[in-house]
Amino acid sequence: MKSPSVCIYISTFNYGTFLREAIESVLRQTFGDWELFLVNDGSNDNSNKIISEYKNHPKIKHLNTNKIGLFKIANKIISITKAKYIIRLDADDVFDENILLVLSNYLEKEKDLSLIYPDYFYMDANGLIFASERRQNVSYNKHVLDIPPNGACTMMRISVLKEIGGYSENFFAQDGYDIWNKIIKKYKFKNVNIPLFYYRRHGKNLTSKLKIIIDNKRKIKSKYSIKKLKQIKPILAVIPCRKYFDFVEDLWNQDVGNINILNLILNKILKYNMINEVIISSDDIETKKTLLKDKKIKFFKRTTDLTIRSRPVIDSLEKILNKCDKKLKGITVIWPIQCPQIKLETVQEAINSLILNDADSCIVVNEVTNPIFQRQETGLRQLNNKGFLISDFDKLYLDTRSLIVIKNSNLSTGSLLGSKIVGINTLDDETIYIDSITKLNFVRYLNLNKNV
């Protein structure tokens, strides 16, 4: 019996509400050379009952697993199927009827393609379509390392998946990002700017569990950047302090839960053994007297004129690097004293993101979801959230001013951030910028009540 060209798998863990619609979207495909694996990953809802309705379908196979997760399920399917291509459909999403026809046709015609992914529609829990996502066309713009495709509804060549060792099984989310990092540097990939699936957004899906996504993405970035990270020297952390020009004098010395702000930051950064030196830059010699005792900590005295608000930090940084990295071979973490809530994991992710993307700098950003307008001759023009069509190019991001990681070589051209900037997201409570007594008191509250 001839093996099918395309293997589809749907895994469900208590997604019985949407499962039948997902299965039916496979059955409606205009391309007929497929097989479907239905995987019940330990559900205790009606998923098994729905799966049993398709037990006699000749193209559908059933598997039962016990909460092993998407990564292990994917590897299991790869080891079983004899198909050439594989694609996952999440149990709460829906295929367009032509997705298999279009994507498999590309893989058939272009033998060097490893994977291909489409645009998609957004729909709500009731199936109402409310937007369309248009992805960057990688044929024209290869700067897409920081915006990988969805793990679902991406068709991949199984021979390539086997060559790279399949999925890493020590993660619990972001399987698409894991594979993306394995494939992107070695194999050809492509996207097609046609919406070919319906991505359901509802309160229970993984996308709403931001912390899970962030934590797993950080682990994946660490895995794929560690080798290169070990080759970079020096890795510096610079914490700029000053006596004046904040809303209080010596903001660095304000108490936030039985410790001052500066030492709160130092307690975090010193735990990261990849940091070679931590430079405290201040115009006040009193700063030096309060520092934690650690051989990695260095004090750099700067003049008061370098601390005024209108003076760019690059002016101080040039003087620091002239002593710590004259050849500008390393990277520097700039951690503002106004942002003590940043977690060490965020610092590590920013460094890893810079390395993975071969970027000049990495900053912490928040996507702007409210409409932003710009004044034109004819009135105000909306720059984002323009309606039904969502595009990578229309999204706007706000610099949280909380953390910057740079290649030191940027300074040779007189630029702090360089020309290739990437951004990472984190939870809002990390990016509090202390510029008022209200925010200072809030940070004190958070540090005195760390379980809140």
Per-residue pLDDT, averaged over 361-369, amounts to 90
Of the three residues 155, 173, 208, the one that is the final residue of a domain is 208
Res. 446: pLDDT tops 50: yes
Same domain, 236 and 176: no
386 band by pLDDT with thresholds 50, 70 and 90: low
% of the chain at pLDDT higher than 90: 63
Same domain, 434 and 395: yes
pLDDT of residue 189: 87
Domain assignment of residue 218, yes or no: no
Domain assignment of residue 213, yes or no: no
Per-residue pLDDT, averaged over 95-121, amounts to 95
Same domain, 355 and 315: yes
The backbone torsions φ and ψ at residue 265, rounded to the nearest 5 degrees and listed phi first, read -65, -45
pLDDT of residue 416: 95
Domain assignment of residue 354, yes or no: yes
**Domain encompassing residue 110:** 6-208
Domain assignment of residue 216, yes or no: no
pTM higher than 0.75 for the full model? yes
pLDDT digits (tens, 9 = 90+) for 170-227: 655 555 677 777 777 788 888 899 999 999 887 665 554 667 777 777 887 888 888 8
Same domain, 423 and 311: yes
Burial class of residue 149 (count of CB atoms within 10 Å of its CB; 0-12, 13-18, 19+): buried
pLDDT digits (tens, 9 = 90+) for 73-87: 989 999 999 999 999
Same domain, 201 and 236: no
- Residue 25's CATH number: 3.90.550.10
Per-residue pLDDT, averaged over 291-314, amounts to 92
Same domain, 171 and 239: no
pLDDT of residue 140: 46
Of the three residues 173, 208, 243, the one that is the final residue of a domain is 208
Res. 451: pLDDT tops 60: no
Same domain, 265 and 394: yes
Same domain, 131 and 180: yes
Number of domains the chain is built from: 2
Same domain, 347 and 381: yes
Same domain, 235 and 161: no
Please give the mean pLDDT across all residues of the chain.
88
Same domain, 380 and 247: yes
Domain assignment of residue 220, yes or no: no
Of the listed ranges 121-130, 145-154, 244-253, the one predicted with least confidence: 145-154
pLDDT of residue 172: 56
Same domain, 49 and 147: yes
